[in-house]
Structure 1
Amino acid sequence: MVLALALGLVGCATARASIHSKDAIVVGVKADQPGLGHRTNGVFRGFEVDVGSYIARHLGASRVTFREVRSDNREDKLNSRAVDLVLASYSITPDRAKLVSFAGPYYVAHQDVMVRRGETRIRGVRDLAGRKMCQASGSVSTERVVVGLGIPTRLVPGSSYSDCVAKLRAGAVDAVSTGDLVLAGFAAQDLRIVNAPFTDERYGVAMRKGDVDGCEAVNRALTTMYQDGTAGRLLHKWFGKSGLKLVQEVPQFEGCS
C-alpha cells in the first residue's frame, strides 16, 4: 500500500509538472530576430510568437506571456522555470535533446548564407573558405560549416544574430550563415541570401526534459495548425515577400521522450 501510494503521488507530481496542465504559459522567444521573434515597444511579434500563442491556446491555457531568450541561455531559462516553452529558432540536435524535450519540429528551415548586396565572390557555402564568418553565441550553425563540412572559415564572435548582421553591414565579416527563416527576417536592400541551401534545420518546441504528455499535446496542436491552414497563413504573413520556397506540409515529428 505504501508503494502504491508513493507511485500515485509521483504520478500526480508528473502530471502537475506537465505543460499540458498549466493555465498560464510563458513562452521564450527571441527579441532581435525580425520575422521570427522581435520586440518593438515592449511587444513581441513574429512567426514564432504567433505559433507559440496558437500552441498555448490548444493546450488549454487561458493566459500566454512572452519572455526573451537568447541562443546561449535557452536551456537555462527552461530548467530554471523562467519559461515553459521555447520557440526561438531552436534546432533539434542529439546534444540538446539530452537537456530538454523537443516537440515538432514546427518548421524545417534550410541553412543558407547571407552576404552584402553586391558581393559576387560568395555564391555558396564552399566559397566561405578563408572568409570571415560571424559565429553567434550559442548557435550550432557555424559548427555545421567548419566541422561538419570542414570549410576553413575565419570565425568572428557575435553575441547574437542581430549583432552578426550589424557586423556584416559594417564590413567586419563577409557572411552570416544560419537557417533561411532567420536570414529572411534580416534581408533588406543592402543584404541578400545567396539561395544555396546546404543543410536542414529542424526548429523544435522545447520544454523541460521528460514532459512526454506535454510534448505529445504540442505535436497534436502543430498537426492541427498545419491542417487548418494556420501554418500556411502565418508563413505567408511573415515570409511571403522573402522569395523563399515555404513548405506548408506537416513536418515529420521527432518522437517524444
Structure 2
Amino acid sequence: MKNVKVWAAASAAVVLLAGLTACSPSNSGSGDSSKVTIGIKFDQPGLGLKVGEAYQGFDVEVANYVAKELGYTEVEFKEAPSAQRETLIESEQVKMVVATYSITDARKQRISFAGPYFIAGQDLLVRADNTDITGPASLNGKKLCSVTGSTSAQKVKDQFAGQVQLQELDTYSKCVEALSTGSIDAVTTDNVILAGFASQSQYVGKLKVVGDSFSEERYGIGIKKGDTELCTKINTALTKMVEDGSWEKALASTVGASGFTADATVNPPKPDACS
C-alpha cells in the first residue's frame, strides 16, 4: 500500500509539472529555447522581402546575425506590418522586430529599442538618366509620389518645393512602377528603402537614389519594454557585426546593386546605451 501511495504522489507531481510547462510562456511562439521568432517586413525589397519560402534583405541579414550571436540555431520570421509592430512585441508573438523600425520617443512609451543598426534619411528616387532633380528643392513643377498616409511627400512640399505636384498610391511598389514608366518624376521615402527598390533586377541601371538626404531615421531593433539584458546582448552583437565586416557586407549584398552607399558620416552607427 505504501508503494502505491508513493507511485500516486509521483504521478500527480508529473501531471502538475506537465501542466505548469504547458502554461509557461513560450519563446515568442516557440517552446524550443534554440528557436526565436523575429518580426520583419515581408514586402520591402532589399530590406525585408519574402520570396517563396525564403527571406532576403538587409534587415533579414541583421536579424540572422543577431540571433546567431544570441545562441539561437533556428529563426522563424513573422510578418510585422508597421501598425502591428508594438502589439507583436507586447503580446510576445515575437522576441524582437527588425523592420525599418525608427526609434522615436512615442514608440518608447510601449517598447524598448536596441541599436540603432542603421541611420537612414529621406531621399528621392528618380530615373537614372534624370539630371534635373538633384534634391528636394529642385522638385517644383515635378510629380512626386509617396504612399497614402505618409507625411514624406507633404514634407517636401511644405519645406522645400511649394509647387511640387503630389501623388499618393497605396504602395511604394506602385510608385516605383509609375516612376519607371515616366508617369511621375520622383518617389520619396527613406533612402535605404528606395535603394532596395532600385536594386530589384527589373530596375537595376534604370533608377537611382539622388543622394541628398534631408532627414534622419534611426533604425532600431524593437524588444519588450525594459528588457535591458536583451538590449545589451543585441548591442554587443551589432557591434561585433560592424567590427568583423559583416555589416558592410550585408548592406552591399542587399542594396548595393542600386549603387547606394550609406552615409559614412553616420553609418555604421554605434548602439545607444540600454536603459
TM-score, length-scaled by structure 1: 0.78
C-alpha contact 2:49 2:56 (8 A) present in aligned 1: yes
* CA shift for structure 1 position 77: 2.8
Q: Distance in 1 between matches of 2:168 and 2:243?
A: 40
Q: Which residue does the alignment assign to 2:259?
A: 243
Pairwise CA distance, 1:142 = 4.2
Aligned equivalents of 2:245 and 2:37: distance in 1? 25
- Equivalent position to 1:219, from 216, 221, 235: 235
Report the equivalent of 1:73: 84
**Cα RMSD over matched residues?**
3.0
Change (3 A) 1:204 1:216: same
Identify which of 37, 47, 57 aligns with 1:26.
Answer: 37
Unaligned runs of 5+ in 1: 1-15
Q: Match of 2:119? A: 108
- Find the partner of 1:99 among 106, 110, 114: 110
What CA distance in whole angstroms lies between the structure 1 residues aligned with 2:143 and 2:110? 31
C-alpha separation in 1, matches of 2:64 and 2:93: 17
- The offset of 1:172, in angstroms, is 5.5
Aligned residue pairs total: 240
Q: Runs of 5+ in structure 2 lacking a partner?
A: 1-24
Alpha-carbon displacement from aligned partner over 1:125-160 (angstroms, at most 9, x marks no partner):
12334644333367564465456x365455443434
1:46 maps to 2:57: yes
How far apart in 2 are the matches of 1:256 and 1:137?
Answer: 35
Deviation at 1:200?
2.4
Give, as a single letter, the amino acid of the residue that structure 2 aligns with 1:33.
Q
**SS of match in other structure, 1:166:** helix
Residues 145, 78 of structure 1: alpha-carbon distance in 2 compared, 3 angstrom cutoff:
farther
Identity %: 39
Shift of 1:81: 2.9
2:103 and 2:220 in contact (8 A); partners too: yes
CA distances 1:184-232 after superposition (whole Å, capped 9, x unpaired): 1211243222222222221111122222221111111101111122112
- Bigger Cα displacement from structure 2, 48-57 vs 154-163: 154-163
